[in-house]
Amino acid sequence: MYVPPAFASPDDAATARLVAENGFAILVATGADGVPVAAHIPIQHDAARGVLIGHLAGPNPLADTMDDCARAGREVLAIFQGAHGYVSPSWYAAKKNTVPTWNYAAAHVYGVPTMIDDATRLREIVDALARQYETHGWTLDAQDPDFVDRMLSGIVGFEIAISHLEGKFKMSQNRNAADREGVLAGLEASGRPDDVRLARAMRDARR
């Protein structure tokens, strides 16, 4: 990822927080044929162990590519997208000779995967994901055992041992204070939830 110094993550901890707070990722792997394969999936970050954890549908072509990467010791890439949005030049103090841009936060996480087909471990992976996001009372334990077994037989789990993270927080750090305040005011005035979230991320980036 291209990261000019002004937009670099302050540290790996900030990048890890972005990963933890934006769990729906793009997972990319490249097979021996050199062709990249990608999927959009929820991924959990176990910071204590330094791994990403998730699962794929068995028929997903990425599952085979991930398995090939695991056997070859080849790294895969998980991309996490944080707050982002359009920035109008009209929000800057100087209106002339300026261009639009896009502010955003993103993290790229690299590592070699390990594939998981053990039923007990797969159940733990699915259960942990549901526990993180479920707010309406659904539990895996309440499902019929035969149904759960059938569902687990159709997926493949993985862990990615994190080798390194790249974080980018492009939050108008390259603009002067008046321009940054103008961007914040413009985003917050729009009323759009995504813009308000981006404004919050810009304020956090200044701390």
> If you write DSSP's letter for every residue of 39-60 in order, what string do you get?
EEEE-EEETTTTEEEEEEETT-
Q: Measured between alpha carbons, how far is 66 from 89 in angstroms, rounded to an integer?
A: 43
> What average pLDDT does range 112-136 have in this prediction?
96
Q: What percent of the chain has pLDDT over 90?
A: 96
H-assigned helices in 40-162: 61-72, 119-133, 145-152
Give the pLDDT band of residue 31 (cuts 50, 70, 90). very high
Q: Give 132's Cβ-side CA count (13 Å radius).
A: 18
Distances (CA, A) of 60 to 77, 83, 142, 157, 158: 17, 28, 27, 12, 13
> What average pLDDT does range 161-189 have in this prediction?
96
> What average pLDDT does range 36-41 have in this prediction?
98
Model confidence, pTM? 0.94
> What average pLDDT does range 117-143 have in this prediction?
96
Q: Give 178's Cβ-side CA count (13 Å radius).
A: 6
Q: Which of 10-14, 114-118, 156-160 has the lowest average pLDDT?
A: 10-14
Q: What is the pLDDT of residues 62-74, one digit of tens each?
A: 999 999 999 999 9
> What average pLDDT does range 33-46 have in this prediction?
97
Q: What is the pLDDT of residues 179-193, one digit of tens each?
A: 999 999 999 999 899
The pLDDT of residue 207 is: 63
The pLDDT of residue 204 is: 87
Please name the residue that has the structure tokens 């759960």: 148
pLDDT higher than 80, residue 104: yes
Q: Are 68 and 43 in contact (CB under 8 A)?
A: no
The pLDDT of residue 205 is: 84
| CATH 2.30.110.10 for domain 5-89+100-174 | yes
Distances (CA, A) of 55 to 3, 76, 159: 30, 14, 9
The pLDDT of residue 206 is: 72
Q: How many C-beta atoms lie closer than 10 Å to residue 54's C-beta?
A: 26
- Where in the chain are the domains? 5-89+100-174
pLDDT higher than 80, residue 84: yes
Please count the helices (runs of H) and the strands (runs of E) in the chain. 6, 7
What are the structure tokens assigned to 3, written together? 């990261």
Give the pLDDT band of residue 95 (cuts 50, 70, 90). confident
Q: Are 146 and 121 in contact (CB under 8 A)?
A: no
Distances (CA, A) of 53 to 87, 109, 128: 34, 12, 10
> What average pLDDT does range 139-154 have in this prediction?
96
